[in-house]
Amino acid sequence: MDLTNDSYVIVIGTKNFTERYYRDKAGWLKVSARGRKFRATAEQVLNHVLPAVAGIKPNVTVKVEHRDST
């Protein structure tokens, strides 16, 4: 089982939107609620994830999905 950063997808959302963050060969990638793709640094990903995990942003959920690279 692969447990590196490349094997996870971070999903942040509410009832109205969902954003996904995942890592590819070039670095982190954000897929917006409209499906647009943006490059992101690890610090930018943390700046979006940490407030949701800390409960500062109400009604925001964070889900981490594992994907096998087969």
**pLDDT at residue 69 in the model:** 64
Hunting for tokens 């890592």 — which residue is that? 23
Q: With residue 56 as reference, give the H or E element that holds it.
A: none
- The closest of 50, 41, 45, 42 to 19, measured between CA atoms, is 45
pTM of the model: 0.85
In the chain, % of residues over pLDDT 70: 97
d(CA 11, CA 19): 6
**pLDDT at residue 52 in the model:** 87
